Structure 1
Amino acid sequence: EPKFSKAARRFFNMRFRKAERLSKVMAAAGVASRRACEEIIFAGKVVVNGKVCRTPETHVDPLKDLIYIDGKPIPRRLPPKMVFALYKPKGYICSDAKDDKKTVYLLLEKYLKTWEKNNPGLTKPRFFTVGRLDVATTGLIFVTNDGEFAQKVSHPSSGITKEYLVTVDNESVTKRQLKRIASGTEIDGVMCVPISVELVKSEPGDSRHRIRVVVTEGRNHEVRQLVESAFLKVHALKRVRVGGLRLPSKL
């Protein structure tokens, strides 16, 4: 029997007793994280009972109200909540494919075909990534249909750390440069300071220097900008850990 998250059972079982915020209902349905759902609502992409709704605080009952997102209804019979920890290769993007670019969802294509075959009539899961890695970055990425899980992992208040290994092209990395990275840099008007910065051993057969950088927020291009602020050139960037989950060393 499929196991649903606490949020899914709370909003969608037959003992549903009260209306909830639209953004929470959408997240429980696996549309996206709660924060991302709010942005979708603000953008005017959500219709409730025939009217566009731009207020995330609007209370709805998913068993009674008709809720559409981009013209598609929120499913009332939910697929089970799933979380995949994937290795993202270089060249893949963490969003819907555009201009023939490869997307991380292609990595689940074989699994999803088997899942659909084994679950006829059940709504196909709507997956999204928890945070993003840019097209040139490799490493650990979560793909899920559980908005509540995504919210807990990605929100800064969770305190979940992310660890990156940065390979640089420079002939040397000085203590002064490491201190410069550790002091932080301003990104989009916010001062971003890493939890820790240290020089680590080079890969076997590769003389390039590597730096371990641990952060909590993981803003867009944060680690790249931290390293580049010390006048170092990034050759490769890989996320090797999120919280207590570490990427296998062979990847």
Structure 2
Amino acid sequence: MALAAAAAAAAAAAVSFPPLLSRPAACVLLRCGRHRRLPPLLLRAASSSTSSAPDFNITFAEPTAPAPSKPKPSSPAPSAEQVVPWIVRGEDGKPSMRTAPPPDVLQAIALAEAEAKKAKKDPRRSHKGAAALATPVANAKVRERKAAPATAPPKFSKAARRFYNENIKEHEPQRLAKVLAAAGVASRRTCEELIFQGKVTVNGSVCTAPQTKVDISKDSIYVNGNRISKKLPPKLYFAVNKPKGYICSCGEPKSIISLFDDYLKGWNKIQPGVPKPRLFTVGRLDVATSGLIIITNDGEFAQKLSHPSSNIMKEYVVTIDGPVHRNHLIAISEGTKIDGVKCIPDLVEPLDVQSNTKRTRIRIAVHEGRNHEVRELVQNAGLEVYALKRVRIGRFRLSPDLGIGKFVELKQTDLKSLEGKK
């Protein structure tokens, strides 16, 4: 018993080290070679002033005499006296030590134990236990994923989109006037007039509203007693080398569309069972102008290509009757007013004189495409136009191998070039 009491007293003396030491006493302890060096924490405590209070409110229990030794049980049980310290920051902002865990940790542990019990019964619930201990940021992300749509729209390839546009999109319900124009009845404006006049019936009833949505593959549509085919003609695109003296209006004796008479006569052999397309020009060239012009039956494409807002550049070659000087080129490049709007060309450049003629040629590029714009620019500079030919639209240039009055069908790459895309 005496030995046990002496050991307890030594332990108490070692723990209860005096919190305040004078600097000389600390130095004596440090310089003593036979004693062990003090820990850094005790050195800082020893050198601090008496007025500073410790951050942690830590107290130690009174030493107790060791209990008499007992035989070890067969299965070791955890000691009830073992305490796990928890350092918690209080409302005043100072940390303190506690013997019990915080309430939120106890709640998280209880939820985890409950989920573990459920997971034993149902293995599909095993992943929910981890979600209970997740941080608020992770929980917010989970809620965002639940609120977001299940799947994002897939990105299809170009071939898939082209197949959809050609085979599926065309059969969706569309406006009646648009369907009649696509079926080759007449222009969209003329089709609207036919609808207003009561000459169009849909499923046996007269329809006088052009915006009525119809499905040509399901609805029965008649115009002037003639039934519209369930199939629509395919979209066609042609580049034509327009001859001088032809006009762009449809139905005229010397119209550009008349150049396709032989092609349309053999249509039933090329596309049996498919109605003939109604072709028209994209934009216009006056009767005295020759060169590149686009023919199609796609109204949306024609509107997009010919509208001034598209800012698609068009290049012309102007043959001048008479000499051309530098001041003429400067006057053309400065622009002129057309219908009250100042039009300035994008490019003015003289070309080499051809061997078979002595007339001067000028390359002029514009993007607005106003009526007679190039002729007005040249005449305003004091020059006389002998011949005018369009050679380029966007990035698509008229092939020199394409003869006058001939046409060639365009591919998808050519259509992108017309819009100025690479």
What is the TM-score normalised by the length of structure 2?
Answer: 0.48
Give the alignment of 1:73-152 within 5 angstroms: 75-98=229-252, 101-152=253-304
Conserved in 2, the CA contact under 8 Å of 1:29 and 1:146? no
1:12 to 170, 177, 184: 170
Q: Deviations over 1:210-230 (max 9, x none)?
A: 111111132221111111111
Measure the CA separation in 1 of the matches of 2:346 and 2:227: 42
Alignment correspondent of 1:60 = 213
Measure the CA separation in 1 of the matches of 2:336 and 2:226: 42
1:249 matched to 2:249? no
Greater RCO between the two (CA within 8 Å, min separation 6)? 1
Instruction: Give the secondary structure class of the aligned counterpart of 1:102.
Output: coil
Call closer, same or farther: CA 1:9–1:225 in 2, change over 3 Å.
Answer: farther
Call closer, same or farther: CA 1:154–1:225 in 2, change over 3 Å.
Answer: same
Q: Deviations over 1:34-88 (max 9, x none)?
A: xx74x5577x3444653545x7xx35224348485x9977654111111010101
CA positional deviation for 1:5 = 8.3
| 2:278 counterpart letter in structure 1 | R
1:155 matched to 2:316? no
Higher helix share: 2
Measure the CA separation in 1 of the matches of 2:355 and 2:382: 25
- Which deviates more, 21-30 or 227-236? 21-30
CA positional deviation for 1:124 = 0.8
Conserved in 2, the CA contact under 8 Å of 1:27 and 1:146? no
2:343 to 189, 192, 195: 192
CA positional deviation for 1:190 = 3.0
- Which deviates more, 198-207 or 161-170? 198-207
Instruction: Give the secondary structure class of the aligned counterpart of 1:93.
Output: coil
1:203 matched to 2:357? no
Instruction: Give the secondary structure class of the aligned counterpart of 2:266.
Output: helix
Alignment correspondent of 2:389 = 238
Call closer, same or farther: CA 1:77–1:167 in 2, change over 3 Å.
Answer: same
Measure the CA separation in 2 of the matches of 1:104 and 1:6: 32
Q: Deviations over 1:224-243 (max 9, x none)?
A: 11111111111000000111
Q: How many residues get paired? A: 232
Provide the identity percentage: 49
- Structure 2, unpaired ranges of 5+: 1-161, 404-422
CA positional deviation for 1:201 = 1.3
Conserved in 2, the CA contact under 8 Å of 1:20 and 1:60? yes
Alignment correspondent of 1:182 = 333
Instruction: Give the secondary structure class of the aligned counterpart of 2:390.
Output: strand
Alignment correspondent of 1:220 = 371
CA RMSD between the two structures: 3.0
Conserved in 1, the CA contact under 8 Å of 2:320 and 2:384? yes
Higher strand share: 1
CA positional deviation for 1:143 = 0.6
| 1:163 counterpart letter in structure 2 | E
Larger Rg: 2
CA positional deviation for 1:160 = 1.7
